[in-house]
Amino acid sequence: MEQISCKICNSKSELVFTSKCLKKYEVKYFKCNHCGYLFTEDPFWLNEAYERSINISDTGLISRNIFFSQILSVLIYFNFNKDATFLDYAGGYGLFTRLMRDIGFDFYWYDPYTQNLFANGFEKKLDNNIKFELITAFEVFEHFEQPNQELLKMFKLTNTVVFSTELIPQEIPDPALWWYYGFEHGQHISFYSSRTFEYLANKYDLNYYNTNGIQFLTKKRLNKNQLIVFKKLRNLGLLRFVKSRMRSKTLEDWERLKNKP
């Protein structure tokens, strides 16, 4: 059985299957039994996979961003400093940043691979002297080639990372049955189980919370049940309450941008 070292915990990881990526490369997938991380061999096909950085088969992009902006508004309002600055890490077209600014949160965009279409004027370069109250990283972790390094990089900028990535079930899904492998676009190269995040939290002295989809790695202590309740209550008036208390930046941003050359 072919084995390589786990990129997260360094334990021996076994080849579990191979599959065709980008319709042409036979790619090996390894699973670490210690931390539960599943990952591809050294991803030599990435340049090709990112010729279009947002994969064209991602039909969920808009609805996902709206959904995340609603949940994050409620969670930030009640658990974090709502007046601080925030960063959407690998923020894609800038849709989430714009949505959060429209609600009233001072969000910025960072993404070295994608063109910022919706959050122009609100780009941030990473600088370890600038700290953010919280960083969001939605549908980003599965793209990481070196998750440890990426986490260290993010935690130099913040004490809290909020993210989404589909967790692998205990039994790894059949390659033919799990859409999240994304063989057709070849961009998903890292898959985590809750055990993987618990391992990472332990290693970097963080807390890990999973509220059915929205996940936290944070130096703060949060109340997981409360997070879940807030998430549920957003539809029952809580989002409306938050919006009424926040001051939308839509107009203010326009004032700021309209005179720019």
Strands 12-21 and 214-218: unpaired
Q: CA-CA distances (angstroms) from residue 27 to 38, 146, 147, 216?
A: 13, 18, 19, 30
DSSP string of 195-250? HHHHHHHHHTT-EEEEETTEEEEESS---HHHHHHHHHHGGGTHHHHHHHHS---H
Residue 6 contacts Zn ion per CB under 5 A: yes
CB of 191 to Zn ion, least distance (A): 12
Residue 4 contacts Zn ion per CB under 5 A: no
**Window 30-69: residues binding Zn ion (CB under 5 A):** 32, 34-35, 37
Residue 8 contacts Zn ion per CB under 5 A: yes
Measured between alpha carbons, how far apart are the two ends of the chain, in Å? Answer: 61
The torsion angles phi and psi of 87, rounded to 5 degrees, stand at -130, 135
CB of 4 to Zn ion, least distance (A): 11
CB of 199 to Zn ion, least distance (A): 7
In this complex, which beta carbon is closest to Zn ion, that of residue 85 or of residue 194?
Answer: 194
Applying CB under 5 A, which part among 9-17, 79-87, 96-104, 202-210 lies near Zn ion? 9-17
Residue 9 contacts Zn ion per CB under 5 A: yes
Strands 38-40 and 85-89: unpaired
CB of 30 to Zn ion, least distance (A): 10
Residues that bind Zn ion (CB under 5 A): 6, 8-9, 11, 32, 34-35, 37
